[in-house]
Amino acid sequence: MNRASYLKKLRGKLQRLPAHEIDAALAYYEEYFDEAGEENEQRVIQQLGSPSHVASQIMADYALKDIEATSNSTSTKKNMSAIWLIILAIISAPLSLPLLVVAIALIFSFGAVIFSVIIAIIATVLGIFFGGIAALISGFFILTQDWPTALLFMGVGFIVTGLGILLFPIVARLIKTIVVVCVEALGKLFHKITKKRKEGY
């Protein structure tokens, strides 16, 4: 493999990234080859590793950089695309079969735990909110039969419904934080896996 075919393969592996990111990455590696000189082309290719390995590093780094740049944003779509890019980077990294199986198992188990936590939080807040609404409606139905109990139900209903409404933005922020932590954890996992791969050579 020579420089031209290496860079061509690298470009092909980076198709999921935005065009400007691909151009920036290729410009960096072209400059890297230029500085090494034509006579050291094969040595540079050996140092860098396969185009798949370099592409997986670039995709994971881009995802982490992207999530840091949008950490003040509430864009769940951006967070999810960052997670997806890191997962793709891990899967597309040229890993040995045992490492790849471990990586995929960790991703799925980690994802299942986080998904369960998010669903539990959402269910709890919705339960509080709808519980308050149910108490409020119950209070209205028994208003003519037993007004002190009806007022108690309505008061509790208003308080609990209000609590549910107040919890919505807190829960949204908590879920966003969980997603950001997931992206960072996946990024660290990727770097650990690729580091172990390098040490294995």
The residue assigned the tokens 């932590």 is: 181
d(CA 8, CA 3): 9
Q: What secondary structure, in 3-state letters, does the chain show?
A: CCHHHHHHHHHHHCCCCCHHHHHHHHHHHHHHHHHHCHHHHHHHHHHHCCHHHHHHHHHHHHHHHHHHHCCCCCCHHHHHHHHHHHHHHHHHCCCCHHHHHHHHHHHHHHHHHHHHHHHHHHHHHHHHHHHHHHHHHHHHHCCCCCHHHHHHHHHHHHHHHHHHHHHHHHHHHHHHHHHHHHHHHHHHHHHHHHHHHHHCC
Inform me whether the pLDDT recorded for 201 exceeds 50: no
Strongest mean pLDDT among 53-57, 70-74, 129-133: 129-133
Please state the φ and ψ torsions of residue 50, each to the nearest 5 degrees. Answer: -70, 155
Tokens representing 71?
């950490």
Residues 82-86: what's their mean pLDDT? 64
Q: How confident is the model at residue 181 (pLDDT cuts 50, 70, 90)?
A: confident
d(CA 129, CA 197): 49
Inform me whether the pLDDT recorded for 65 exceeds 50: yes
Residues 107-119: what's their mean pLDDT? 81
Higher per-residue pLDDT: 96 or 179: 179
Inform me whether the pLDDT recorded for 139 exceeds 70: yes
For residue 67, the model assigns a pLDDT of 58
Residues 19-27: what's their mean pLDDT? 87
For residue 149, the model assigns a pLDDT of 87
Q: How confident is the model at residue 94 (pLDDT cuts 50, 70, 90)?
A: low
List pLDDT tens digits, range 150-164. Answer: 888 889 888 988 888
Cα dihedral sign for 68, 73, 74, 80? negative
For residue 74, the model assigns a pLDDT of 46
Residues 42-66: what's their mean pLDDT? 77
Inform me whether the pLDDT recorded for 169 exceeds 70: yes
Tokens representing 120?
């539990």
For residue 81, CA distances in Å to 18, 130, 198 come to 12, 32, 27
* pTM of the complete model: 0.49
Query: What's the number of CA atoms in the CB half-sphere (13 Å) around residue 123?
Result: 6
For residue 92, the model assigns a pLDDT of 59
